[in-house]
Amino acid sequence: MTIRQRVLPPGWYPGSGEETRRTIENYIASGPAPEPSAVAGVAPHAGWAFSGRIALRVLLGFRRSVETVVVVGGHLPPSAGVLAAPEEGYETPLGVLSADLELLEEISGFLSAPPGEDRVPDNTVEVQLPFLKYLFPDARALALRAAPSEAAEELGREIRRAADSLGRTVAVLGSTDLTHYGSNYGFSPAGRGERAVEWVKEVNDRAFIESLLEMDGPGALRHAGENQSACSAGGAAAALAFARTFGVERGELVEYSTSYDLHPDESFVGYAGVVYRPGPADSPE
């Protein structure tokens, strides 16, 4: 069995199974979980200390019957298309998470060529995998990355087609952070200090989040590209497009924060958690 090895060091997320379980259980105990009926969501991908609780709350909102969770990350240029991890499983502190290679085969014609294999270490997907192993121990996963382009929206629709073809209950998690602000990121249009924090929260991040909540995938991609309001916006666009195939009309904001809230600094990042639930008439069986 080929295994994609962990590359992120402890600090991004715990190193041992015991510490991973304890951290997740503390997150769960920290507040009420969303109703578990979502078919898709958007979660941040920073180290767990900064955004892990928000990411977990999004996944707690996923329907419990899910058989495969597709995680769509990013860190790709707009022309890169869609890449997939080729391994049969993914290493986590809680054990190996099996990959859904049947689903991968079903969408293989859609991947970037040649050959669409993603062998580059990347945090956007890896940081979510221990959550999946804990919450969905009997489910499989599929690690993808999508460019911030129309290809991401097409991917969301393709995943739904493939899931229906296989008779598979699938959920999609888009792994997307928000504005990266400050000198560390070469982006400081609102200066520094409280004025900058307010601009990120109330203007730049808010506009991108509203696009996600209003189910406006093209608008989200456009705003991210023009205003640097999201990192790996392709993941969010894929999750949104997948949700649209279930008739979802509006997203639900689970939580929003910034790294500045925990560690005030001239450079900081925004994080949002969004879930997508079908209406009663559109809910999957």
Domain map (residue ranges) of the chain? 37-177+232-262+273-282
Tell me, what's the pLDDT at 224?
Answer: 98
Name residues whose C-beta falls within 8 Å of residue 9's C-beta, 6 or more positions apart in sequence: 15
Say yes or no to pLDDT of 280 above 80. no
Tell me, what's the pLDDT at 31?
Answer: 86
Provide mean pLDDT across the span 149-174. Answer: 98
Quote the tokens at residue 22: 């304890």
Tell me, what's the pLDDT at 281?
Answer: 45
Provide mean pLDDT across the span 138-166. Answer: 97
Say yes or no to pLDDT of 144 above 90. yes
Task: Give percent of the chain with pLDDT exceeding 90.
Answer: 92
DSSP assigned state of 33: P
CB 154 within 8 A of CB 81: no
Tell me, what's the pLDDT at 279?
Answer: 79
Tell me, what's the pLDDT at 34?
Answer: 85
Q: Which one, of 148, 129, 170, 133, lies nearest residue 228 by Cα?
A: 148
Say yes or no to pLDDT of 285 above 70. no
Place of tokens 């990266």: 180
Separation of alpha carbons 95 and 251, rounded Å: 32
Torsion of CA 113, 119, 124, 125, to 10 degrees: 90
- Positive or negative: CA dihedral 136, 164, 125, 92: positive
Tell me, what's the pLDDT at 217?
Answer: 97
Size of the chain, expressed as the number of residues it contains: 285
DSSP assigned state of 281: G
Quote the tokens at residue 68: 């495969």
Separation of alpha carbons 79 and 81, rounded Å: 6
DSSP assigned state of 208: H
Tell me, what's the pLDDT at 282?
Answer: 53
Say yes or no to pLDDT of 245 above 80. yes
Quote the tokens at residue 184: 């560390």
Quote the tokens at residue 199: 């601009």
- For 183-242, the pLDDT digits (tens) are 999 999 999 999 999 999 999 999 999 999 999 999 999 999 999 999 999 999 999 999
For residues 34 and 67, the model is more confident at 67
- For 67-119, the pLDDT digits (tens) are 999 999 999 999 999 999 999 999 999 999 999 999 999 999 999 866 688 88
Class of domain 37-177+232-262+273-282: alpha beta
Q: Where are the beta strands (DSSP E) in the chain?
A: 3-4, 40-43, 68-73, 82-84, 89-90, 97-98, 140-146, 170-175, 177-178, 180-181, 230-231, 252-258, 268-276
